[in-house]
Amino acid sequence: MVKSASKQKSIQKRERGRPTSPYGPKKARSLSISDMAYQGIQEIANQHGIRSVSELMEKIGQREIVIDSVEENREKIDIFADIPVVRQLQAVIERPNAAIDSLIAFTTRVSGQLGLPQTSEATHEVILRAMEILFCLNYLSPDTLIDGPTAWLRWYILNILERRYISTSSQIKPKGRHFQYKTEENLTEHCVSAIFAAREELLRDHEGAHLNALKLRIRPYNFSVNQIERITKAQDIFDTGFELVVKGMTTFRRLWLREDSCFADIGDNERAKPHKALKYCNLVQKERLTAGERKSLKQLVSEGLSDADYTFWANEIDFILGYKLCEDYKLYEQEAMKIRMSISKAFASHITRRKYRIERELLKRENAESVDDLLAQETSESLSFGPDPSAEEIWEITHIVQNSRVEMIKLREREKAQRDYSL
C-alpha cells in the first residue's frame, strides 16, 4: 500500500535530524564495554577508514564488513591437522595482532637498511616465503617443539633479504618506497628501558589466560609453547598456547607499551638493560647495515630461536622502531593493512600447493639423505636461491635450515631440564 504524500512528509518531519542508513533510521543503543575494548574497536574502525565506532557497528550489522568465523577458517585446513606449526602460523595471520605487526615492521625496516623495496607487495612476498620455509621444515622433519613461529620467521626473513641484497649488490638497486623513521637522542636507551619497564608491569599485574600465557613465556619462567599448551588444556581453554601468547602480546601493548612511554623518563631502578637487547635495538635502527653489522644481527636473531625472552623483546623493539616511529605513520598503517590482508588471503593456497608438491617428490625418495636434499631443494627458491642450487648453495641452504634444527635441540634439552627439576 502506498503512503499518502502528507503522511510521508509527517514521518520525515518526525525523523528530521536522526541519522539514517539505507536500511532505515538509526536509533541510540546502550552498550557496556571496557575502555580497552572500546579503544580496540576504534582502532579497527580507523584501519577500515571508518569515522566512528557506531558506523563500524552499522557496517558489521549490514554485513558490509564480515567477521570471519575462526572455526570456518580452521575447517579449510583440516589437511594440516597433524602439523602444529600451521595452526601457529594461522594465529599470526588470522587478524591484526602484535605478532604480524612486528614481522611487518622488521621486514620493512631491514629492507630499507639493505636498499631493497619496502612496498607492500615486496614485504608480503618475503613474509609469505618465510612461512613456506617454516612449513617445509616442519612437514619434512615434524617437530612439535617449534617454540612459536615469530623467531623462526624473523630468521628466515633476514636470510631472504640478505640473499637478495647480495644478488643485487652489483646491480642498480630497485627503487621501492623508503619509509623515514623518527630519531631521538638516547633512543636505544629509552626504547629498551620502556619495554622492560612494561614487562615488569606484566609480571606484577596481569589478568586473564592470555596475559598469563605471555608472562609464562618470559624470564624468569621461560615456559615453552608446548608447556603452556599442556597448562591450557588442563584448564579447558580452547585456544592453543601460542594463540594465547599472541593475544597476550596484543593486550600487553595496549596496557603498558603505550606510544608516550617510548621516550618517557624511567628511573634507574626500573631500567632493565640487557646487553643483547640494546645491541639488537642499535642494529635495527641503523640507516644502512655493513657486512659486519649484518653478521651481528644474524647472530642475535639466531640466538633468539631457542630463547623466548629474546623473542619477546625483539618483537617489541621491532614494533617501536619499525611501526610506531615511522614518520608517515598513516601511509605505513595503510601499507601494513594491505600486507596483513594479502598474506591472510594467500596463505592457505600457497601452503596447500607446497604440501602437494612435497608429497609428489617424496614418492621418488628412498632414504633420509634424499629427504634432506629435498628440503634444500624446496627451500631454495623461497630463500631467493635459484631453482637448481649449486653444491655450494645447497651447503649454505642446509646451514640456514640446520641452524633451526640445532636450536630445536637446545629447546628440547631445556624443556627436559625443566621437567626433571620440577620432579
Asked whether residue 171 carries a pLDDT value surpassing 80, the answer given is: no
Q: Comparing 57-61, 67-71, 132-136, which segment has the lowest mean pLDDT? A: 67-71
- Given this model, what pLDDT does residue 423 score? 39
Say which DSSP state 239 is in. S
Closest CA to 38 of 52, 59, 20, 21: 52
Asked whether residue 211 carries a pLDDT value surpassing 60, the answer given is: yes
Taking the C-alpha atoms of residue 63 and residue 70, their distance in angstroms, rounded to an integer, is 17
pLDDT digits (tens, 9 = 90+) for 234-247: 777 777 888 889 99
Top-confidence range, 18-22, 150-154, 192-196, 411-415: 150-154
Q: Strand, helix or coil at 34?
A: coil
Q: Comparing 87-91, 185-189, 298-302, 335-339, which segment has the lowest mean pLDDT? A: 185-189
- Given this model, what pLDDT does residue 307 score? 85
Q: Averaged over 264-269, what is the pLDDT?
A: 52
CB 185 within 8 A of CB 108: no
For 45, the enclosing helix (H) or strand (E) is: helix 35-47
Q: Per the domain annotation, does 356 fall within a domain?
A: yes
Amino acid code (one letter) for 96: P
pTM over cut 0.85: no
Q: Per the domain annotation, does 276 fall within a domain?
A: yes
Burial 252-265 (b: 16+ CB within 10 A, else e): bbebbbeeebbbee
Q: Averaged over 389-415, what is the pLDDT?
A: 67
Q: Averaged over 285-307, what is the pLDDT?
A: 91
Q: Per the domain annotation, does 97 fall within a domain?
A: yes
Q: What is the mean pLDDT of the chain?
A: 78
DSSP letters spanning 90-134: HHHHSSS-HHHHHHHHHHHHHHHHTT---SHHHHHHHHHHHHHHH
Q: Comparing 53-62, 97-106, 334-343, 365-374, which segment has the lowest mean pLDDT? A: 365-374
Taking the C-alpha atoms of residue 19 and residue 36, their distance in angstroms, rounded to an integer, is 27
- In the chain, the number of structural domains is 1
Q: Which domain holds residue 198?
A: 79-170+179-422
Cβ neighbors of 183 (< 8 A, separation 6 or more) are: 285
Asked whether residue 267 carries a pLDDT value surpassing 90, the answer given is: no
- Given this model, what pLDDT does residue 18 score? 57
Cβ neighbors of 84 (< 8 A, separation 6 or more) are: 138, 144, 146
The sign of the torsion formed by the CA atoms of 75, 80, 81, 83 equals negative
pLDDT digits (tens, 9 = 90+) for 189-202: 888 888 988 888 89
Q: Per the domain annotation, does 67 fall within a domain?
A: no
Q: Strand, helix or coil at 181?
A: strand
For 23, the enclosing helix (H) or strand (E) is: none
Q: Strand, helix or coil at 294?
A: helix
The sign of the torsion formed by the CA atoms of 354, 166, 280, 175 equals negative
**How many angstroms from the chain centroid is the CA of residue 415?**
24
Asked whether residue 290 carries a pLDDT value surpassing 60, the answer given is: yes
Q: Per the domain annotation, does 210 fall within a domain?
A: yes
- Higher-confidence position of 366 and 102: 102
Residue 387: cis peptide before it, omega within 30 degrees of 0: no
pLDDT digits (tens, 9 = 90+) for 304-359: 888 888 999 999 999 999 888 888 888 888 889 899 999 988 998 888 888 888 88
- Higher-confidence position of 11 and 327: 327
For the chain, give the percent of residues with pLDDT over 90: 24
- Given this model, what pLDDT does residue 73 score? 46
Q: Per the domain annotation, does 126 fall within a domain?
A: yes
Asked whether residue 416 carries a pLDDT value surpassing 80, the answer given is: no
pLDDT-derived band at 408, boundaries 50, 70, 90: low
CA distances from 211 to 94, 228, 240, 257, 304 (A): 19, 12, 14, 14, 21
Top-confidence range, 46-50, 239-243, 346-350, 389-393: 346-350
Q: Strand, helix or coil at 217?
A: helix
- Higher-confidence position of 208 and 104: 104
Q: Strand, helix or coil at 21?
A: strand
**In terms of residues, how long is the chain?**
423
Asked whether residue 3 carries a pLDDT value surpassing 60, the answer given is: no
Q: Per the domain annotation, does 190 fall within a domain?
A: yes
Q: Per the domain annotation, does 87 fall within a domain?
A: yes
Taking the C-alpha atoms of residue 145 and residue 172, their distance in angstroms, rounded to an integer, is 42
